[in-house]
Amino acid sequence: MTTETQVGTAVRAQRLSRELDQRDLAELAGVGTSAVRRLESGQGSTMRTLLAVLAVLEMPLTLPTAEHQPPVSRRVRGKTHGRPALERREEKISLELHRAVARRLRHDGPSVRAKARANLPRIESKVHGRQAVDWVRQWRDALDGPTHELLDLLVREDEHGIDMRQVSPFAGVLSDDERTAAIRKARQW
């Protein structure tokens, strides 16, 4: 049976043979750079990411026949006590910070939205690549949309949520005390 680490090693070797860096591959596949990084390091990947990357690299996907399939585990890798399968400390901290922003948004939506909108031009001037530009556009659309959709985007625990938080427009929304409390909470995971 092929392990996640073996798949990641094969993907990395194929990417390097094509002289692509992780950012290039992510952009071509329409996924986040962090998703490619996790795939290559064997830390897990969504099916969407795996298939998109394999298609870009023109790598075949071979499925085992029925008699060679391993038993299905009931345990989902990385899930404990309802927490997301976030691998890196920075991802956990970012999620907790955005949960705090979501709380502020519920109490003072207009000022939170105004601060985020004011930050968008600065972010747009610093991002490069089609994917990052699209993430900024998605934030702009969410800031102009219904509150429940913006709240959902702020605290998504999947790869897309992790990627979106990399270009977050919510700098300056939280007080120092709120930031410290969120970081402390993330470190307790």
- What is the DSSP annotation of 65-123? PGGGPPPPPSSPTT--TT-----SHHHHHHHHHHHHHHHHHHHSHHHHHHHHHHHHHHH
Q: Which of 20-29, 145-154, 180-189 has the highest mean pLDDT?
A: 145-154
Dist. CA 25–CA 45, nearest whole Å: 15
**Average pLDDT in the 119-131 region?**
90
Q: Whole-prediction pTM value?
A: 0.56
**Average pLDDT in the 173-185 region?**
92
pLDDT band of 150, cuts 50, 70, 90: very high
Position 114 scores a pLDDT of 97
pLDDT band of 71, cuts 50, 70, 90: very low
Q: Is the pLDDT of residue 113 over 90?
A: yes
Comparison of pLDDT for 22 and 2, the residue scoring more: 22
Dist. CA 16–CA 10, nearest whole Å: 10
Position 77 scores a pLDDT of 39
